[in-house]
A and B are shown apart, each in its own frame.
Chain A
């Protein structure tokens, strides 16, 4: 099989225990959370020392959980509608229209005074 995406995406990539249990160096993102892989957040380990202890996950499992979460959300979108309209596109159109036609002269959007 041609290894076009790098070894981590190849089904023939061997499982190396030490690699799987060496996640990227954590970076603090808030008072209570750290991050390792991109978009993978964890509770600060100092807050999981008494009642709930943190479990050690192999890297593939952390990434699988993140990916399956995204799969689930994508499935929900398809289930409820055929397409998703991106708000950023509408916002860009609103901003462009406001720039060309400032709100003071644009058609009023606000409701009548109550």
Chain B
């Protein structure tokens, strides 16, 4: 599926800018080429020669909910696409404009509005990063534990729009659990407060429909979150992150399951690294290059809490690992590797041709939610799909797979395959191969009763084709909701096959 960009004419852009000047200052309206191109950039690889298709016509820098509402109202009146952009770290192109229009960059809405020490909440502008927020919270011994692999650079609003997944979510919950409520600008420009009930700081309500989840994870297709109230925890006193090596995948797989099922209260997550991931690390990661050849799979666990909780619970996990023939990798690797997991976007990347030569590659991470019992089969089938790609071209390199516990009980895992993509050589033919591979990867997930995405969202080319299959009747409900809330299809158009909502009704698009 290739979406042809529909650009605004030069005159139309001038008219939009002129209209925006009635609601924003000049310095909040950006039209230069660098301003626009910088806001078309996301981490997921895409053919270089087609980047111009994804550039907005202009960008705006609102400073308040009212600014955002005014821009969206105006865009709705003028029928101009609006694309919300937070950190731009998403891996399913949520922040990428497919039809040009106005990018609403929320980075100036980065204030801490209220810190409620008694109710343990903080209310922030959605343009703040978790890192900067936690620097302020640490002064009060508090912590907001939403911890994606893009922790230093992703923003609270993007986490809402993606319904993000947190590395330590098995202990503290994921974004949907941590965001209590938020102000939200609907596609018509109306402002709505959404949460559990109407309260800002309520953690559980049974009043009315549970709308909070609907307005999380929509990838910007249902509006823009502008101010959020978040749940806070004490800053952990102690952290433990042991890494263990195994001489075979089966023992590591059994071990990660046992660790997750142990029911330890301070357990924040466990990760299984398969043989392909170990082989990748062994060629390029200083921690693993010197490891002996019999290291073929890895498991790590993370624990957070008070020291007198973490120490005895940690010993329990060490016993479980020992029963599964694990070898502790040592403090330096364990502590260093875990610390690096909070910031994977800073990692310089390169891959190998089949002849072994180093080539510059970008990182693509394909994810799914898979039950524990299906991990081995999905792992085998996913590697077979990427191996088939690599046989055809050096553009792709298999960087191995991770499986992270999705929750504290170990029922299912965020399952990821990392694929290096040689972006400079990603021509149309290679891109088509990749889109087909993404579709095939998603099909495997569904065949094993999984979900296409646990973490990133599923609105990129390839996987999005299978979203109607995954959701069944629920996809028609998505279309109905989209048409009702966004009657003119201005909010991030072209995503999630939602254009079908309008085509079926004889709409404009």
A residues lining the B interface (CB < 8 Å): 29-30, 32-33, 39-41, 43, 47-52, 70, 72-74, 76-77, 79-88, 90-91, 93-94, 98, 103, 109-111
**Chain B 290-320 near chain A by CB (<8 Å), digits 1 or 0:** 1000000000000010010011001110111
Least CB distance from A12 to B in Å reads 31
Q: Is the CB of B242 within 8 A of A32?
A: no
Q: Is the CB of A110 within 8 A of B320?
A: yes
Contact A43/B358 with A76-B342, A81-B237 known, Cβ cut-off 8 Å: yes
Q: Is the CB of B237 within 8 A of A90?
A: no
Q: Does B340 contact A (CB under 8 A)?
A: yes
Q: Does B240 contact A (CB under 8 A)?
A: yes
Residues of A within 8 A of B237 (CB): 81-83
Nearest opposing residue in chain B for A87, CB measure: B242
> Which stretch (B1-9, B158-166, B183-191, B331-339) binds chain A?
B331-339
Q: Is the CB of B289 within 8 A of A41?
A: yes
Residues of A within 8 A of B286 (CB): 39-41
Q: Is the CB of B304 within 8 A of A80?
A: yes
23 CB contacts below 8 A, A to B, read A30-B282, A30-B289, A32-B283, A41-B289, A47-B352, A80-B147, A81-B236, A81-B238, A82-B237, A83-B238, A84-B238, A84-B335, A85-B311, A86-B331, A87-B241, A87-B334, A88-B328, A90-B240, A90-B311, A90-B314, A90-B315, A91-B318, A94-B315
Q: Does B131 contact A (CB under 8 A)?
A: yes
Residues of A within 8 A of B284 (CB): 33, 43
Q: Is the CB of B318 within 8 A of A81?
A: no
Residue among B261, B319, B352, B356 with most chain A CB within 10 A: B319
Q: Does B357 contact A (CB under 8 A)?
A: yes
Contact A88/B331 with A73-B336, A76-B339 known, Cβ cut-off 8 Å: yes
Residues of A within 8 A of B262 (CB): 111
Q: Is the CB of A79 within 8 A of B131?
A: yes
> B134-166: which residues lie under 8 A (CB-CB) from chain A?
134-135, 138, 143, 147
Question: How many residues from B make CB contacts under 8 Å with A?
Answer: 53
Q: Is the CB of A29 within 8 A of B238?
A: no
Q: Given the complex of chains A and B, what is the CA–CA distance between A48 and B491 in angstroms?
A: 46
Q: Given the complex of chains A and B, what is the CA–CA distance between A94 and B242 in angstroms?
A: 14
Least CB distance from A70 to B in Å reads 8
Q: Given the complex of chains A and B, what is the CA–CA distance between A32 and B335 in angstroms?
A: 25
Residues of B within 8 A of A91 (CB): 318, 328
Nearest opposing residue in chain B for A39, CB measure: B286
Q: Is the CB of B311 within 8 A of A73?
A: no
Contact residue among B134, B336, B357 (Cβ-Cβ distance under 8 Å from A79)? B134
Residues of A within 8 A of B240 (CB): 84-85, 87, 90
Q: Does B436 contact A (CB under 8 A)?
A: no
Least CB distance from B346 to A in Å reads 8
Q: Given the complex of chains A and B, what is the CA–CA distance between A48 and B319 in angstroms?
A: 44
Residue among A77, A79, A98 with most chain B CB within 10 A: A79
Least CB distance from A89 to B in Å reads 9
Q: Given the complex of chains A and B, what is the CA–CA distance between A70 and B332 in angstroms?
A: 11
Q: Does B258 contact A (CB under 8 A)?
A: yes
> B187-239: which residues lie under 8 A (CB-CB) from chain A?
235-239
Q: Does B29 contact A (CB under 8 A)?
A: no
Q: Does B15 contact A (CB under 8 A)?
A: no
Q: Does B53 contact A (CB under 8 A)?
A: no
Q: Given the complex of chains A and B, what is the CA–CA distance between A79 and B130 in angstroms?
A: 11
Least CB distance from B386 to A in Å reads 20
Residues of A within 8 A of B304 (CB): 80-81
Residues of B within 8 A of A43 (CB): 284, 358
Q: Given the complex of chains A and B, what is the CA–CA distance between A107 and B290 in angstroms?
A: 37
Least CB distance from B342 to A in Å reads 6
Q: Does B506 contact A (CB under 8 A)?
A: no
Q: Given the complex of chains A and B, what is the CA–CA distance between A84 and B262 in angstroms?
A: 22
Nearest opposing residue in chain A for B261, CB measure: A111
Residues of B within 8 A of A32 (CB): 283, 356
Least CB distance from B427 to A in Å reads 16
Contact residue among B239, B282, B343, B353 (Cβ-Cβ distance under 8 Å from A51)? B353
Q: Is the CB of B235 within 8 A of A110?
A: no
Least CB distance from B182 to A in Å reads 25
Q: Does B350 contact A (CB under 8 A)?
A: yes
